Structure 1
Amino acid sequence: MIEIRPFAELAHRNHGWLDTRFHFSFADYHDPERMGWGRIRVWNDDLIAPKSGFPPHPHRDMEIITFVRNGAITHKDSMGNTGRTGAGDVQVMSAGTGVTHAEFNLEDEDTSLFQIWIMPDRAGEAPDWGQREFPRGDRAGRWEVLASGDPEGDGSLPIRSDAKILAATVPAGETVTYEASPWRHQYLVATGGQIRINGLEANPRDGIAITGEEAITVEAIEDVELVMVDAR
């Protein structure tokens, strides 16, 4: 089963400093048909204006992954961590028993990113945060695991959930295939160009909800960057 969720039909909020689309219910947007996809709870498509951002606020019991598409985001939290995550790179935060954090665009340009929340498999653990650079050239024409519940097995950033966050860059006319388990849930978003996924066409930043597939083949109609979560 593959369901295309057009970008233009996603819930939209524009707060001036933040222009965002919600793939699933979030904040004041509630849709009982879109409360999540498997263990995936949130996928927000955020555009953050220069010199602005999210002031300190708390979380607990959630795995929060930030994939920066353009610009950079600067993180600061109650654990004493600070860090800047640039385009193509990833930060992860396991909220655990509770953490307060702030995320600001300190750059002179807009920052665009995906904010992804995944429900954890384990509770009662101390919070944690990590960041890593992932050069886009290293995933040209192939899937690269950016974060997962098995970091030692794939060299990715650790999260506390049976899930993987992957990315690939694919030039126009080429394909990339992901061997999937049909009982799991995949959610895919393409940026930068149109794609064809198992024969179905999708536009940039459409949400693509997938389950029941043994193989996911993506053909790039235009140069494209793919971001996907594979979760229980």
Structure 2
Amino acid sequence: MITPRPYATLAGRDAGWLKARLHFRFAGMGKPEYGPVGPLHVWNDDQFAPDSGFPMHGHRDVEIITYVRRGAITHADSLGNRSRIAAGDVQVMSAGDGIVHSEHNHEADPTLLYQIWLTPRTTGGAPSWQTRRFPPADRNGKLIVLASGDAEDQQQGALPLKADARLLVASLRAGDRLTHAVDGDAYLVAVDGSLQVNEEQLAARDGAAITGETMLYLHALEDTEVLLIEAPRKTA
């Protein structure tokens, strides 16, 4: 089953400096049926105004992926890390038993990003942070893994997650078709352009919850980028 979550139906908040749409029900906002998919329970479509951001604040027991779509965000944390994460970069922060961090847009233009939260396999443990640039050409016409809880994916260069999930991306030209086997539940977002997923059509920034499917047939109706979170079935 593929259940679209159109961008226009997503809960939103406008704090002036921050405009956000929520693919999942969070903090009392959003449709009750827009619940978690496996360990995935937050996927926010955020726009930061220039010279704005979140001051230092804390998290624990959550895996947070930041995927920058346009512009850049500057991260700082209580581990001493500081980095400018630009479009094309991916950041993974494992909050563990506690981490404090800030995120600011120090650019002259708005920054667009996705922030994705996953429930870790186990609570506690030492917090950690990593970022990596994935060259855009590597994803042309195919799905590549950006972050994963699977050791084999990590050996191939994926950022490590302490969750039973993997994040993939593909850049498709209009007319491109891509087939992908899925094992377990998944959530897919058309970052831009339009896309057909099996029998469902998604417009730019639409999402879709995927359950009970074994194959995904992607057909790009326009140039588009696709982000996919998979939550593989656990084996006994």
> Would you call these one fold, judging by a TM-score over 0.5?
yes
Give the TM-score range, shorter chain: over 0.9
Q: What pairs up with 1:17-166 in 2 under 5 angstroms?
A: 17-29=17-29, 31-150=31-150, 151-166=153-168
Task: Describe the SS at the equivalent of 2:26.
Answer: coil
Which residue of 1 is the match for residue 174 of structure 2? 172
CA displacement 1:11-54 (0-9 Å, x = unmatched): 01111100100111223415433331111010000011011011
CA displacement 1:192-222 (0-9 Å, x = unmatched): 2010111221111111100111111111000
Give the RMSD, CA atoms, in angstroms: 1.2
Kept after mapping to 1: 8 A contact 2:78/2:101: yes
Q: Normalization by structure 2: what TM-score?
A: 0.94
Task: Report the more deviating stretch, 165-174 or 25-34.
Answer: 25-34
The unaligned stretches of length 5 or more in structure 2 are: none
Q: 1:174 is matched by which residue type in structure 2?
A: D
The unaligned stretches of length 5 or more in structure 1 are: none
- Aligned residue pairs total 230
User: What's the CA shift for 1:158?
Assistant: 0.3
Which residue of 2 is the match for residue 204 of structure 1? 204
CA displacement 1:79-103 (0-9 Å, x = unmatched): 1111111112100000000000001
Q: Normalization by structure 1: what TM-score?
A: 0.96
**Percent pairwise identity:** 50
C-alpha separation between the residues in 1 aligned to 2:185 and 2:154? 22
C-alpha separation between the residues in 2 aligned to 1:74 and 1:18? 15
Task: Report the more deviating stretch, 34-43 or 123-132.
Answer: 34-43
CA displacement 1:67-119 (0-9 Å, x = unmatched): 00000111000111111111121000000000000011111111001100010
C-alpha separation between the residues in 1 aligned to 2:35 and 2:91? 24
